[in-house]
Amino acid sequence: MNSKEYTYYYFLGVGGIGMSALARYFNFKGARVLGYDRTPSELTHALQKEGIEVLFDQEVDAIPQIIRDNKDTTLVIYTPAIPANMPQFVYLQSLGYTCVKRAQVLGYICNNQSGIAISGTHGKTSVTTFTSHILYNSAQGCNAFLGGISKNFRSNYVFHPTSSHVVVEADEYDRSFHNLFPNTALVTSMDSDHLDIYGSHTAILDSFKKFISQIKPGGTFIYKKNLDVSESLDQLQDKGIRVYSYALQDIRADFYARSIQRQHNWYIIDLVTPFGDIEHIQCNLPGKVNIENMIAASAIALCNGVQASELVAALATLQGVERRLDVQVANNHVVYIDDYAHHPEELKACISSIKELYSNKKITGIFQPHLYSRTRDFAKEFGASLSLLDEVILLDIYAARELPIDGVTSTLIFDEITDTQKCIVSKQELLNYIEHNVPQVLITMGAGDIDRFVKPIGDLLKRITQ
């Protein structure tokens, strides 16, 4: 992408979480923004209310006339989730429209400002959102592109009229984060994932090394203490880059919690930092995984000029992210929490956090596997994580961008779950199953269309437990 300013922006896959944030960015700038998506959703409805035209027909005839009439001043932005043979995509390319991936556009925006990029195979959405909230509520301010909906901002895009800071979620899928050259970068984790793209864990590690190497000279690199980034650190020293580590309570790290005091479902922590200790920080979100993510966000904020008093005030008002340990129902009879977890390590972190909070209750989890390839590659690991539950309800695999793989079904995971009550239920039967098997603590987990059940499940549980 060059520096040319376009008048029209046409998004193929505008309803995606990353795509919609970019659409909002250009809409805020006063450009004419239009887009296609496969199906309506809460996000596409929100975009339409904000003045963005969204259509749901992929055929060439559905391309808006204003896009047809303005080829030279239109930028087509597409997501890797769009099939290469999608009719509109093929047509626009054949006519010579400028077509660029979402990651290239995000890179252009980030690289020309004070970019803060948060990456990792899990945890990055929460850290990105927490960081944005802290910076925005400080003298520094920030713009931000989030991989989830912030409960504070009620959006996945944060606009600030004067700040030069741009906080972005750096996605490792399809090597998208290689388009970023940030001033500050943080890595939360480098677990094996997206093997349909990378082929091996070694290739994933190499990809993260490249991302880390792209930090601008004089910048800052922050990483979780248990990660092996030794090869990268040698290269960073030559570029004058400051390096810090963070952890939950590992005293070898530069940022960690010296004490964690639980107050019902929230916490008070004392934070150790290289800039001095900060005491009595309130974290209103459930689970120690949120404390760790908060520490990571605090490290970024403090390294970018946020004062301790600003940090404490901002964290006291932090509401979290939709679909990240997101409490939907909590009464005397039932607790219902929704989470985006779709990788074995994410499931483990989610379930362990909830077990700590509700150790005396039966915990039931509904999990929708995401992708045939991920199910095939990590069936054993999924089984081990789900075995931490008292009861598991498995849904069928959500295919997303993939075609079915012969012999790969949710049964592969089902067979790996041990010493736990378990069943496979269809989406059509799910609400009826819950109504006749009312849980004490329920978690829904997955990255597919399980989010469409969150409100119906919440409404059902409120009704039957009143």
Is the Cα torsion angle 36, 197, 323, 302 positive or negative in sign?
negative
Mean pLDDT of all residues in 446-456: 95
pLDDT exceeds 80 at position 76: yes
Using one digit for the tens of pLDDT, what is the confidence trace for 111-147?
Answer: 999 999 999 998 999 999 999 999 999 999 999 999 9
Per-residue model confidence (pLDDT) at position 3: 52
Per-residue model confidence (pLDDT) at position 193: 81
Residues 381, 386: Cα–Cα separation, whole Å? 9
Q: Residue 321 gets which letter from DSSP?
A: B
CB 365 within 8 A of CB 443: yes
Average per-residue pLDDT in the chain? 95
Residues 141, 116: Cα–Cα separation, whole Å? 12
Which residues are registered as beta bridge partners of 463?
A: none
Residues 466, 461: Cα–Cα separation, whole Å? 8
CB 295 within 8 A of CB 288: no
CB 361 within 8 A of CB 391: no
pLDDT exceeds 90 at position 199: no
Topology of domain 8-100 in CATH is Rossmann fold (3.40.50)
Residues 338, 390: Cα–Cα separation, whole Å? 17
Domain ranges of the chain: 8-100, 113-315, 326-464
Q: How many CB atoms lie within 10 A of CB 239?
A: 13
Instruction: Name the residue type at position 208.
Output: F
Residue 252: enclosing H or E segment and its boundaries?
none
CB 339 within 8 A of CB 307: no
Using one digit for the tens of pLDDT, what is the confidence trace for 262-272?
Answer: 987 789 999 99
CB 254 within 8 A of CB 223: no
Q: What percentage of residues in the chain have a pLDDT greater than 90? A: 89
Phi, psi at residue 280, to the nearest 5°?
A: 60, 55
Residues 187, 179: Cα–Cα separation, whole Å? 16
Topology of domain 326-464 in CATH is Protein-Tyrosine Phosphatase; Chain A (3.90.190)
Residue 207: enclosing H or E segment and its boundaries?
helix 201-213
CB 173 within 8 A of CB 103: no
Segment among 224-233, 299-308, 437-446 with least mean pLDDT = 224-233
Query: Which pLDDT band holds residue 5 (cuts at 50, 70, 90)?
Result: confident
Architecture of the 113-315 domain: 3-Layer(aba) Sandwich (3.40)
Residues 237, 263: Cα–Cα separation, whole Å? 42
Mean pLDDT of all residues in 163-170: 97
Q: Residue 174 gets which letter from DSSP?
A: G
Mean pLDDT of all residues in 72-84: 93
Using one digit for the tens of pLDDT, what is the confidence trace for 353-404?
Answer: 999 999 999 999 999 999 999 999 999 999 999 999 999 999 999 998 788 9
DSSP for 339-389, please give it.
E---SHHHHHHHHHHHHHHTTTS-EEEEE--B-HHHHHHHHHHHHHHHTTS
CB 140 within 8 A of CB 162: no
Per-residue model confidence (pLDDT) at position 2: 59
CB 265 within 8 A of CB 292: no
Helix (H, G, I), strand (E, B) or coil at 250: coil
